Amino acid sequence: MYHTRFIRKNIRIQSLVGFQLTALQSHGFMQQRPTATRKMSTPEPEVPAIQESEAEPLLRDLFSFAAGNRTFAIFEDEVEGTAESKRPARLPHAPPAVLGVVCVRGRMLTTLDPAALVEAEPVNWPQEIPLVIALRGDEQLALAADSLRETITIASTDIEQFEGDQSDRLQPIIVGVARHGGEELTILNPSGLFAAAFQRIERRRRRF
């Protein structure tokens, strides 16, 4: 009886030990099994689309008019308005480019001859100027004209550089030259007109 119990007890111990060894071996095998390395897929950087569209040129509106035998123009946003048949009040000792003072819409404006500013000879204007173009700005200026031409829209790239015998002297008052309908338009710069008109009389005084 005792011998039988001893044998059964040994069998239980061996079974328990064998089960633990098997569990340990199985656990060790699972730990030693090489795990497959998963490659991290990094998203590729987005390449921005290259836009090859060139910058559009600036469009400008030109207010054109005729004076003497030339066609002039001014950017439309620099024009205040127009008035017909104005008789300027003459100023004593005024330079040839200054025709006098006229009243347009309650403003007293010094009227200039654009042809005299860019040429040696002024226009022989009548006592009543056919047309006066009032300019914006603090200098209170106006330009004399024979007639109005159409207002045109051009690209800034179509304005050519002015080239002439006196290009250095005229550079402050001429923006450039544009061509439209077979005519050459001399684009004036209002900010330089007053100084250019009175510099000529100062030069004459220095000569004498």
How is 98-127 classified by DSSP, letter by letter? EEEEEEETTEEEEEE-HHHHHSSSPP---S
Q: What is the mean pLDDT of the chain?
A: 78
Q: Which of 56-60, 69-73, 157-161, 162-166 has the lowest mean pLDDT?
A: 162-166
Return the pLDDT at 56: 75
Q: What is the pLDDT of residues 68-81, one digit of tens each?
A: 889 999 999 999 99
The pLDDT of residue 205 is above 70: no
Average pLDDT over residues 187-194: 94
Q: Which of 16-30, 46-60, 63-77 has the lowest mean pLDDT?
A: 16-30
What are the sequence ranges of the domains in the chain?
59-207
The pLDDT of residue 51 is above 50: no
Return the pLDDT at 165: 62
How many angstroms separate the CA atoms of 97 and 46, rounded?
64
Task: Provide the 10 A C-beta neighbour count for residue 95.
Answer: 20
Q: What is the pLDDT of residues 88-140, one digit of tens each?
A: 999 999 999 999 999 999 999 999 999 999 886 778 999 999 999 999 999 99
Return the pLDDT at 92: 92
Residue among 181, 97, 107 nearest 143 (CA): 97
Is 151 in contact with 75 (CB distance < 8 Å)?
Answer: no
What share of the chain has pLDDT > 90, as a percent?
A: 50
Is 113 in contact with 97 (CB distance < 8 Å)?
Answer: yes
Q: Which residues pair with 93 in a beta bridge?
A: none
Is 143 in contact with 111 (CB distance < 8 Å)?
Answer: yes
The pLDDT of residue 43 is above 90: no
